[in-house]
Structure 1
């Protein structure tokens, strides 16, 4: 583990940019960017276009360590280059931004009100490659749709089981049990989730540290105990379908919780914008998310 990066992630001021749209979510991300599905005819062309978009974001002047602590990358982005350097190296060497990698293979079908992560038999090989590419940490997502205690328990058990595998590889895991913001019993799900998370965190040895990525809670400062837990490096929030303005407003009410927005960051960006227009939009997005993250 890079100790300089660890200290920056733990104590730095700013937020984590989520640039990790995968195969399933990439067409939607490109469409929001103004690139329709008829602009590409196969997966390789699609990934070329999304990398062009991400490169434009990462190389924007406002995308730097003054406001951004880390960036979560998709596997294809990790293996591609920005201005001649592999993306993780470019982020750290040129921008001072810590690289993370999305490592899950998507969601299983819903059962007991939740969606676990699909099996990931190639994870050890992926973690080895992540280390070779100088990645600091990882991220993996499950989804909670209902306040089902058995389902939520299984989500957290799976997340920490995989986290052990990631920690053994020398990387810092971001555990992401997302609570669906449209769930009718969202607050109840969050109560069950916090209890399960605390139970697992309390069992971690002192040499094991994790991060958490959670939906912005229904009750302000509800995750205070998680943020202050000695085994938690940082707690970050996903935008979860909220607009950037709405997510920023909700985030501001939660002290110590910082953003890890995807759609919230890319909102308003378009392939047809000039570099000046694009960079101005990125600057404004970064500024508002940063301010919401330092409250």
Structure 2
């Protein structure tokens, strides 16, 4: 797929984006959920090899195709690995799945109720390498814990600074300012974030478009105006700690938003499953998330 084909695929949004980008801090938990206990590896390299095997198994499973999975977000080490005997982005292209790359390096300590991204050294070189491998876009995550306007403004400002560099390298950024769904100020934080994103989107120039990856809002439909914004290619939602059934129920209440789930996608998969059982469990998860992404329990009026 060339960039125009990938853009059309994401804009159409008939499916969802699989988040296969667990990184250093979240990898042990992801492996534990897959049935590989912490202590089953001696070095980080062995740990990353195990998580790559899991991801490659998912990507090459018969049910993981562009019919219902329109995109997949990769960790940098997955970008450099192989699936089906070829670079992972190429394997995704073969299945009609648009590849994205997680580029952030984790979070800074909390200040003003938020956690900004750590600096991203060598970002330009990474973006060039990703584009050369056929990657369409990037994802960069920060976290909102409280409804602090100064903190949320700082997150939006930082996210769009990175986004502009991504756009300059010919890639499409997924901006991910995650609102903690356990925050005691969640609803107010959702509103402040929505308003800050609107202002930043209005400041984009030329024909630039971005994507937004947001927590499912406390008030369904709160992000409708972001869904409709001409600078937004698509809005996707993270599961944010919800189990799949609950995440899908919340997703279905938000018009125009498709999933970008990680744990909610993988929660029934286990390392000891045979290939048929593994693909059956993955297929059931894909179907449930697909239905919530494209068929909405929302009054069209």
Query: Displacement of 1:60 after TM fit?
Result: 1.1
Segment of structure 1 superposing worse, 168-177 or 59-68: 59-68
Segment of structure 1 superposing worse, 43-52 or 170-179: 43-52
Does the 8 A contact of 2:238 with 2:261 survive in 1?
yes
Q: Where do residues 95-114 of structure 1 align in structure 2 (5 Å cutoff)?
A: 95-114=95-114
Q: Where do residues 156-171 of structure 1 align in structure 2 (5 Å cutoff)?
A: 156-171=156-171
SS of alignment partner, residue 100 of structure 2:
strand
User: Residue by residue, what CA displacement relative to the aligned partner does 1:230-277 show, whole Å, maximum 9, x if unpaired?
Assistant: 010000000000000000000011111100000010011100111111
User: Residue by residue, what CA displacement relative to the aligned partner does 1:107-140 show, whole Å, maximum 9, x if unpaired?
Assistant: 0000000000001121111111111211000000
What is the aligned partner in structure 2 of residue 210 from structure 1? 210
Query: Displacement of 1:38 after TM fit?
Result: 1.9
What is the aligned partner in structure 1 of residue 117 from structure 2? 117
Does the 8 A contact of 2:110 with 2:116 survive in 1?
yes
| Count of paired positions | 294
Q: Which runs of 5+ in 1 are unaligned?
A: none
Q: Where do residues 31-180 of structure 1 align in structure 2 (5 Å cutoff)?
A: 31-93=32-94, 95-180=95-180
What is the aligned partner in structure 2 of residue 262 from structure 1? 262
1:131 and 1:293 mapped to 2: Cα distance? 27
Query: Displacement of 1:220 after TM fit?
Result: 0.9
1:133 and 1:66 mapped to 2: Cα distance? 22
Indicate the RMSD between aligned Cα atoms, in angstroms. 0.8
Matched, 1:196 2:202: no
After TM superposition, the score normalised by the length of structure 1 is 0.98
Does the 8 A contact of 1:12 with 1:69 survive in 2?
yes
Query: Displacement of 1:24 after TM fit?
Result: 1.2
User: Residue by residue, what CA displacement relative to the aligned partner does 1:71-127 show, whole Å, maximum 9, x if unpaired?
Assistant: 00000000001111100010012x100000000000000000000000112111111
1:23 and 1:107 mapped to 2: Cα distance? 12
Structure 1 outlier segments of 4+, above 3 Å: none
Does the 8 A contact of 1:186 with 1:218 survive in 2?
yes
Does the 8 A contact of 1:206 with 1:231 survive in 2?
no
